[in-house]
Structures are given as structure tokens and as C-alpha cells.
Amino acid sequence: MASLFRVTLDPMRYSSKPSAGDVSAITRRMQRAGAVEVGCEEFCEAVRRGSTFCGGCYEPCHDRWGAFRSMQICAIDVDNSAEIIGADGQPVKGAKRPLFPGEVNYLDYAGGFERCADLGLQPLAMYQTMSAREYWPKYRIVLDLGEAIEDEQAAGDVLQTLLGMFPEADQSCSNLNRLFYGSNGTVWECWRGERP
């Protein structure tokens, strides 16, 4: 794991999941600022305090994502969610229910960590998302790839491979400029040897 790495990190902190208006402001701040260089401890503290990050690093740009520069940090979401099916047999738009132990695609915190170990992956951190509940484990696994990938296609391929290793993960987390919101305060600093 690198001692320092580049990541796109918003300095603003949120104590709850950002609203649609907040997301627009976060995106613009991150696009304008570009990436920063941080260490594992600083990154984990920023996430613990509610900062949003993006693994993709881009050239700063006023009103859009600039040219791709690199990706060294990436993340996947494990939401342990299932769609709610309505009386008509169709999914209810935007409605989710928690998965429970034993259901297909359920992967608790320890299971996510163990999967990483089985695959030879050492997470930088794992953390509960802002919408996690005691009965509903929702979390992110953050990985440091060890070196920056400077080719955009190769970076996208790495994300696709990672999502293939975790079929339980939110498969929409495949874009390099995906925003990952901070935690609810619970962060396991795996780089220090902590585990869920």
C-alpha cells in the first residue's frame, strides 16, 4: 500500500446522505479542485467525518470532469438490498428492503473482509455508509491498487474485474468519477490491521 496517493476528495463534510442539491455542489467543487495527495490516515479521517471522494483523478475543470489522469483508489458498495415487488409483479421504483443472512447476495461486513482476503486483496479501509442501520449492513470497501493507473480504459477494466469478484456489490459503481459519500462515523482502517 502506498504511503501517499492521489484521490479526488471534497473538503466539505456531511453528517447525513447529501441531498440532490448537495450532490451537484459536491461534484462542481471536486471538478474544479482536481485531485489531492493524501495518506491512509488522512483519507480515513476525511471519510469518517463525512467527506465525499472519487477514485478517478481528473484535470481540474470549471464545469465538467476534465481529462482523466489516473486512478489508484477505488471502492465498491455492498448495500445488502433487494427490490420490493409490487402487487403487479413489477419492482416498485426506488423501493428497497434489507437482505437478511442466508438470502442470495447477502454479504455482511466480516464476509466482505474475508472475500478480500480470499482474493488476495488488502483493503485500505471499509466503512459503514450513512444509510447503514444495525439490522441493515451497508458498507464500502476501499482498495489502494498500489500504483496509479494512468490509462482510462485500463482503470475501467480494473473496476469491472473488481465488481465481477463481488457480485453482491452495487454494479452501477463502474464509472471512474463515481462519488462515494463519507461514513456514518464507523471506519475500519484495514491498512492498520483493523477489521470489521
pLDDT of the residue at 2:
66
pLDDT of the residue at 17:
94
Domain count, the chain: 1
Q: Residue 158 pLDDT more than 80?
A: yes
All cell numbers assigned to 108: 455482511
Place of cell 476528495: 9
Nearest Cα to 182, choosing from 15, 58, 20? 15
Strands 4-13 and 36-39: antiparallel
Domain of residue 131 covers: 4-192
| Other CB atoms within 10 A of residue 12 CB | 14
pLDDT of the residue at 94:
86
Write the pLDDT tens digit of every residue in 163-188. 999 999 999 889 999 999 999 999 99
All cell numbers assigned to 30: 471536486
**Global pTM exceeds 0.85:** yes
